[in-house]
Amino acid sequence: MASRTPIIHTDPEILSGAPVFVGTRVPARTLLDYLEAGDSLDDFLLDFPSVSREQAIAALEEAAEALGVGASTR
């Protein structure tokens, strides 16, 4: 399995160790909160320009994979 570039990380010096997008101080939970509230990915990205679309999508893909709900293969 190829190693992935980290998308989310924790550091006790950044937001008391809350998981954040790499290179930012944006909590990963914020993306989920936006989506849960019915906001779009574009809304999130407009409000948090330090997070790239690629980072957000990769984080969602990793979450789906962790939950076993990734895209099906045929």
The closest of 50, 33, 51, 31 to 41, measured between CA atoms, is: 31
Domain span including residue 39: 25-65
Residue 17 lies in a domain: no
Contact 38/12 with Cβ under 8 angstroms?
no
Residue 33 lies in a domain: yes
Alpha-carbon distance of 42 to 40, in angstroms, equals 5
The closest of 64, 63, 24 to 45, measured between CA atoms, is: 24
Per-residue tens of pLDDT for the chain, all 74 residues: 456 789 999 999 999 999 999 999 999 999 999 999 999 999 999 999 999 999 999 999 999 998 888 655 44
Residue 4 lies in a domain: no
Number of domains making up the chain: 1
DSSP state of 16: G
pTM, whole model, 2 decimals? Answer: 0.84
Residue 16 lies in a domain: no
